[in-house]
Amino acid sequence: MQAQAQKYSVLMVDDDPEDGVLVKKAIASTGPKVDFQFVASGAEVLDYLFTEGRFTDRSSAPRPNLILLDLNMPGVDGFSVLKQIKSDMDLRRIPVVVLTTSEAETDIVKSYDCGANTFITKPSSFSDMIEVMTSLKSYWFDAARLPTA
């Protein structure tokens, strides 16, 4: 997969790599190819975004156009990541989609309060996952206009 060649890059952070596989497959099955990057912890995603640690080379860590963020992660959790992204003058423009197993009202409210752009509960079937990814892509990459980085 050639990151440079693709127009859009999606960065997913989730402590469950199996969900990473599902989302990757779902995205892959939805028309035009997008770059898919996956990290498994809150600390790693911060390194990735701030090009620190093992992500100092921007070519291997392209700036994402959309972040899929899990909430419940050991160590640095989704809310901390969200707060750091949204308090950074540059990174705050990247839309963050909270993609979690939680359906709790408190999590939903807190996510939006922390600046999440969307809150989605992980669908339980693969076909629903495809549907979610299709609509996310069509909304954020087709309908919405984002600032050019």
Partner 1 sequence: MLAIYEYLFGAASFVPHGYCLAWRPDLIAIHAFSDGVIALSYFSIPIALILLLNKREDLAFKRTFGLFALFIFSCGVTHLTAMIMLWEPYYGAQGMVKLATAMISVATAISLWPLLPKVLALPGPGQLRKMNTQLAAEIAEKNAAQVNLHQAYQQVEAQVVERTRELQALNQRLQDDVLRRSLLEEELREKAAQLIATNAELERFAYIASHDLQEPLRKIQAFGDLLKSEYESVLPDEAVEYVRIMQNAAYRMNKQTKDILTLSRLSWDSIQFDSLDLAEVVEEVAFDLKERIEEAGGKLEVGPLPSIPGDRTQIRLLMQNLLVNAFKYREPDSTPEVHVEAALHDTGAPGTGGACVEISVRDNGIGFAQEDAERIFSIFQRLHGRSEFDGTGIGLAICKKIVENHNGAIEAVSSLGKGAVFNIRLPTSQPERREIHAGTGTEV
Does 73 participate in binding partner 1 (rule CB under 8 A)? Answer: no
Residue 31's nearest CA partner among 146, 142, 145 is 142
Binds partner 1 by CB under 8 A, chosen from 25, 33, 63, 86: 25
Q: Contact 65/140 with Cβ under 8 angstroms?
A: yes
CA distance 9 to 121: 21
Does 18 participate in binding partner 1 (rule CB under 8 A)? Answer: yes
Q: Which stretch binds partner 1 (CB under 8 A): 7-15, 46-54, 104-112, 134-142?
A: 104-112
User: Is the backbone of residue 31 left (phi > 0), alpha (psi -120 to 50) or beta?
Assistant: left
Does 142 participate in binding partner 1 (rule CB under 8 A)? Answer: no
Does 122 participate in binding partner 1 (rule CB under 8 A)? Answer: yes
Does 59 participate in binding partner 1 (rule CB under 8 A)? Answer: no
What is the binding site for partner 1 (CB under 8 A)? 18, 22, 25, 29, 72, 101-102, 104-107, 122-127, 129
